[in-house]
Amino acid sequence: MDRMLYVAMSGAKQIMLAQAVNNNNLANVNTSGFRADLDAFRSMPVYGPGYPSRVYTATERPGTDVSSGALTTTGRELDVAVNGTGWMTVQAPDGSEAYTRAGDFRVSVNGQLETGAGHPVMGNGGPIAIPPFDKIEIGADGTISILPVGQSPNALAVVDRIKLVNPPSRDMEKGVDGLMRVKGQQDAPSDASVNLANGVLESSNVNAVAAMVKMIELSRHYETQIKMMRVAQDNDVAATQMMKMG
């Protein structure tokens, strides 16, 4: 009975882990630029004396879905989205370079250009600082231009340029902070072929309907494992009663 119980228990545990990944995706369905985490189950035979008759399950996160989300027009001058493939560079909380598709930028009280999550946006020489302005524009190549306070309309000045990169998807991995990085903690080089669309935001690439269906499926699988554990318990009780009768 213990074999049946432990197999069912391990299955229930791994389903809970998969459910956590799916729930996190579903919770971020409205998060700009969010990339869904993938998950998969893998069979794990138990080897030892005799035949490997018991097979456990392991939940794995093989990677991240890097497909593009839908573009939504906002008309806001600090909202940008990457056209096609590519990433915008930001500074992670630990000071390292990281990448995102979330272009909901804002200027902090200290004059620093940040994402909506508070990550500093990186330019040619580090985090981008924005002087006081009456108007700001972000070009398709990432160039940031401002109209300084009190200047004539034709006195636009280039401040910096957002670092845009396009490393191969196979070399990218998501950190626990939700930001993408190049495997091996290497900094990706700038790529002039990446361009931005202004006044739009890219939505999450999570399919809400598919995530809801998967949540229901995982819940049913979990219930099945719990039923198996109850059957194992009932069988154990029945076997104990038979032993007493003997």
Residue 1 has pLDDT above 60, yes or no: no
Q: Which domain holds residue 29?
A: 2-65+206-245
Dist CA 77 CA 107 (whole Å): 12
Same domain (yes/no): 118, 173? yes
The pLDDT value recorded for residue 136 is 93
Same domain (yes/no): 176, 231? no
Residue with tokens 């580090």: 126
The pLDDT value recorded for residue 236 is 78
Task: Quote helix, strand, coil % in the chain, to nearest 5.
Answer: 25, 30, 40
Same domain (yes/no): 183, 215? no
Dist CA 154 CA 158 (whole Å): 12
Same domain (yes/no): 93, 212? no
Same domain (yes/no): 222, 166? no
Quote the tokens at residue 139: 């070009």
Residue with tokens 């994402």: 115
Same domain (yes/no): 51, 126? no
- The amino acid that residue 108 corresponds to is S
Same domain (yes/no): 58, 155? no
Which residues make beta-bridge pairs with 146?
A: 136, 157
Does residue 85 sit in helix, strand or coil?
coil
Domain total of the chain: 2
Same domain (yes/no): 136, 83? yes
Per-residue pLDDT tens over the stretch 28-87: 999 999 999 988 887 777 777 777 777 777 777 778 999 999 999 999 999 999 999 999
| Least confident span in 15-29, 42-56, 214-228 | 42-56
Average pLDDT rounded to a whole number, residues 211-221: 95
The pLDDT value recorded for residue 4 is 80
| pTM tops 0.85, yes or no | no
Same domain (yes/no): 84, 56? no
Same domain (yes/no): 22, 133? no
Q: Are 56 and 135 spatial neighbours (Cβ–Cβ below 8 Å)?
A: no
Quote the tokens at residue 59: 């939940």
246 pLDDT band, cuts 50/70/90, is low
Per-residue pLDDT tens over the stretch 158-215: 999 999 999 999 899 998 889 999 988 789 999 999 999 999 999 999 999 999 999 9
Q: What is the mean pLDDT of the chain?
A: 90
Same domain (yes/no): 210, 187? no
Average pLDDT rounded to a whole number, residues 80-95: 94
Quote the tokens at residue 79: 């909202």
Same domain (yes/no): 81, 185? yes
